[in-house]
Amino acid sequence: MPELPEVEVVRRSLDEKIKQKKIKKVIIRNRNLRLKIPYNFSNFLKNLKVIKIERFSKYIIFNLSNNSYCLLHLGMSGTLHLVPRNKKNLITNLSFYNSPFQPIKHNHVEIIFDNFKIIYNDPRRFGFFEIINDKKKLIKKFKNFGPEALDKKFNKEYIYHYFKNKKKNIKNFLIDQKFVSGIGNIYASEILFECKINPIKKANLLNKDNCDKIVIFSKKVLLDAIRKGGSSIKNFKNIAGTEGNFQKNFNVYFREGLNCKKSKCHGTIKKKIISNRSTFFCNICQK
């Protein structure tokens, strides 16, 4: 599933291409996504201008000219493809975890502009679109989400007080969107490695120094991943046709059995299944 850095890369790609562009037409080929696409979806979007593209957590937010919003969540396998008019066989992928070419079979939604269209493709159909009518409803939509890891509200005081009397392990908290928004399985493993914290350590055992490290390295790892274009697991390419490069900097993820990269550490990267998710960590330096 895409995490905050990958969704941010897609947001920037979309904003570059469709900001201030008018939607001419919307074609729905399959309404049966995780949330069924409303029957008025096409007519609602038609002739609206996309003012800008924003993001919260793993959601892409289309700000529309009638002061409403269209939310898109890419789910497990959703990708966006930009297809210029009258051109074929181009690398079209704005997203990741899929072919960089347009795989027609699972095209579910087409948003058509003057000289190109954006196609939403999703083999597993866990993604969804949602119309939000005004700012108040948008705020309400995210009221139960924790602060983004890049937000100043995500600080050591917030973490320390949140963890009091909490016995769940820290790895599960980092991927819990009610605690912090945007972090998923890959980056939780990388953040905990940088913090030298064992992923199965109970949250209520973390001291303020541990909490401070979680704040510092959450921001560092996510910002570094954004700068490097996200993590390419399966042919991720951004709008320029460039692969994400952060996977080249993985310290633990997908490195089971390899040596720890920290200097003077003789540990080995181990893999453990926590809540049905693969978690990677160093068996020596992560206490």
100 is catalytic: no
CA angle, corner 30, sides to 26 and 31, nearest 5? 85
The single residue of 11, 55, 58, 156 carrying the catalytic annotation is: 58
Among 132, 179, 139, which Cα is nearest to 35's? 132
Name the strands in the sheet holding 25-28, side by side, starting at the edge strand that comes first in the sequence.
25-28, 107-112, 116-121, 79-84
Choose, from 3, 6, 8, 194, the residue flagged as catalytic.
3
Catalytic residue among 2, 5, 100, 199: 2
Extract the runs of DSSP E, i.e. beta strands, from 46-203. 49-56, 59-64, 69-73, 79-84, 107-112, 116-121, 128-132
| CA distance linking residue 13 with residue 239, whole number of Å | 6
Compute CA distances 223 → 4, 14, 54, 232, 262, whole Å: 10, 19, 17, 16, 20
Q: Which of 85, 130, 71, 78 is nearest to 103 (CA)?
A: 78
CB 79 within 8 A of CB 97: yes
Is 2 a known active-site residue?
yes
- Name the DSSP letter for residue 106: G
* Of 196, 202, 270, 277, catalytic: 277
> What whole-number distance in Å separates Cα of residue 89 and Cα of residue 265?
48
Beta bridge partners of 272: 279
Q: Is 3 a catalytic residue?
A: yes
Active site residues: 2-3, 58, 277
